[in-house]
Every structure is written in C-alpha cells, then in structure tokens.
Structure 1
C-alpha cells in the first residue's frame, strides 16, 4: 500500500507530496517539528508532544496552522490511512511561503506537513547487549529547548557516530559535561545508585519520554538527581541509557569504547523501560531478555 502524507489540508501520495520552493522551512529552517511514536496503533505520550509543539511555535512566534484539536484528528487519520501499527508520525510546521527575506513576512500562512513511516523498534540483541555511544563537542545554537527543524549539527554528529560504529553520539559542552545525544536524552546511574539526567534548560531538548521517565522514577522510589554530569562521571557509571520517542529506554554499554559498569545492561534501566511501556498502555514491542542473558 502506498504511503500517504498530509500537506496543508490535503491527504496526498507520499511520493508526490510537495511544498513551495520559497517555503521558509526550506530557505531558513524557519520551523519546528514533533515526532510521535505509534505503538500497536496508539499514539504514545501524545499530549506531551502537543504541549511541546505549542511551546516551540510560541518561542518562534509561528501561528498554529490548525487548532490543536484538528491536528489530533489529522494525526489519527494519518495512522488509519497508512495502516501502520508501529510507526513514527512526524509533524512539521514552518512559517510558510514568502519571498526570501530574513525578517518575518507580513503575510504568510504556516505550512503544515505530516508524514508517517513504518519503524522497527529495538531488537532483542540491542536490549540484551546494549548499544555503544561516542562523544563529540556540542556545536549547536543556544536554544536547544526549541524543537527546530535546523538539525545540521545533529546530522554531522550522527554521521560521526555511524563512522565509529556507534549507535548515538553524546554531545559535550565546553565545561566537560554531557548535554544530550543527537536525537536522545542521556542518563547515567551513579556508583551510589542514583539516577541522573541533565536538568531541562535552553541547553537541551526537554524530551517527552524524559519527562515521563522522571515521573515514573519518582513513583518507583528511585533515587534521582536532575543535574549536569561530566564525561568522567559517565565513564565511571554503573549504568547508562538513552531515552527518546523512538528508543523508549535503550541501554548504553560503552562510551568511547570504555565499558559502562560490567559492560551489560543494568537492572534500573530495565525497570524503567518496562515502566514506560506500561505507561503508554502497551506491552513492550520487544520482550525484555532475561537479566544478564
């Protein structure tokens, strides 16, 4: 079955979906986006993603192209029309079409595009073995809290990770602290057993999965510290993992070639992954392997 896209009020074949050459998203990366995971036909953490979308639009002073309630209806139509049980649903909103000029156009209707693509979640092997990450300097702008379509530093970082045989790249600020991955938030479990992730600020994207995990950790009574952590502290951690809409909770078992803890996924990460899957109301798409299997 051919994929279906949504462009400014029309459902169209994905291969023929287009926007104008003078759309400001193309010319200036003047736009924002969200990605919502579809798990067993259900939209995971939908309200959180829409709340962050609203914030990003507000920060860039871009108007809603449709009401949030209408957008919800379009999102559901995209899932139905594409007949995808497990997928990534992308929502992109730009300032719209206007003659090329840096300043905001006096009159421009925002462009709304939605696409949906089938995805495979983490393999049993990735959950059993964990994944490697490498570290790179953080060269992004200072408003990382806005989910902007301007992603060139992350593109370069992801390519470095691939070339080094890693799953993700953790970005390092000049002060030596870990900010986040190129498309994920970074977590460690300290030698003392505390769960740590960097606090939300303009220096990281406040992940929706991240926010859910913080609430879940509190409910489970897990010791938690929301603070910056250094790369050296990450090297010494008992556990590490990444979180995002598409990876949920994925264990990290090596950083820059150095094993994390005993080099195997740890129990706290497993516990949080299961808690998150329960939170979104669906069984884990990939059953958790036995501990240390």
Structure 2
C-alpha cells in the first residue's frame, strides 16, 4: 500500500501549524488548511468491475462477436506472440459491447452474471480467481521461446491485476497470470513498510506455492468508456490459456469457455487550486 500521499499531507499540515482529530477525517480523506483556505486532499484510488462470462467451448458470441471488436494491436507484437503460444489473448474494447455479449452479461435467472467489484489504493492489486483447484494437471508451457510440459498438483489459476492512475483520465492495469499449487505451507513474510526486519515486523502466512509467469505480464491502459478483455485460444489444448479459461460443466462432460471483462475507474485526484478571493472592506449602508 502506498502511504506517500497521506504522509506528505500530514507533513504539510505540521509545517502550517494545523491540527486535526479523528472526527475531522472521512475514509482516507484529509482536510488540510494551508494559507487560511481549506482543500480536501484525497489519496488516489482505483475501482474495478470484473465480470467472467462462461459459455460452451467455441461459442460464437465470445469467440466471434466479442473478438471482432477487440483491439489486440494495443499489445506489442512480441508480447502478443508470447501470449498466443501460451493460448492467451488480450485487448481493449472502446464503446459498447456487441449485442450478443451484452445479452450474456445481462442474462436473468440461473444464467445471471454477478460482477465483482474491487476498490483499493493506487498501485495496489486484486487477485482474480479463474479456476478452482484441480487435483492434477499437466500443462504445455512456452517460456522464453522454449516449450515444455510441467505437471502440477492441487493447482488453481489466478490473475494478479495491479492498477495505477495513468495520465489525466486513464487507469493502467497490469495482468500477471499465476499458478498456485502444492500443499498448504506455513511461512513468515515481512509486513508492509518493514524497515529493520525485527521479529515484530513479520507475519505468519499459510498458503500454496505461487508461480508467477512475469514474462507474460501485460499492461493495458483503460480510458473512460473502455473495457479490458482477456480470454483464450480454444484450440490450444493443455496450454496456460486452456487451463485458466476452460473447465468442465457441472454434471456434464461438456467443456465451458470463459472470458474476463474488466472496467476501471479512478477517484481521489486532487481538485485544481482555487484563487483566494479578494479581501472585503466594510462599507456604510446607503442613506435613505
């Protein structure tokens, strides 16, 4: 978590001789009075709305209609090839979703899609769970131009999505695919902002081994009215994309295919400075 902005505000208030108490603070909001005027300074935050659509494998809506309007050229060619050989594809949509996809997103009843919402400080991340734990899986990975098979036990698939304010209106999303696998183990990790790493600055954490495929890290910058799209190439069986985005339908032998949609917005940008109004001089009322 980035505490630089709040720390700066507190320092400025101390120099100006100001004071505040807890009742003066909203959620992560600081009121600084500098030079006799008030200005609300709110730390930058990012909001994500995340929807995962699930359809039968090779469904036309999420393989044809959706990707026909996705701009995949927003990703550098070399990185785009690395994603493709691992069965992944990503890009941006500007404007409305295709009618076929919008119908899936707004379906009612048992097919209703419930988007998840994340809100966190600028520079923090969300973990998006793409696939439930699989007892055993063997993946064909392509890393640094070398293809090889790798088995995993008790494996689940995730995307670590880090969000940052970009420019005056954008939100940059950095996607890193991860595979969590193996038995639950206990470890000790340093607390955020730890300095001297004394015993009091470590916390106990139980979890699986986390394998981050950072060479496939992809950044998409969303402007208002855009949506990030992440999916797979359904023909790339045993690939990372197949593992993350396909799964068997419950009580059936039919495979389902998923696609990930993310909308992003921002808040907390400081308001523009306003000029100090001219001094007012008392005047006598006019004589009647």
**TM-score, normalised relative to structure 1:** 0.21
Structure holding more strand per residue: 2
Q: Which has the higher contact order (CA 8 A, sep 6+)?
A: 2
Max radius of gyration: which structure? 2
TM-score, normalised relative to structure 2: 0.21
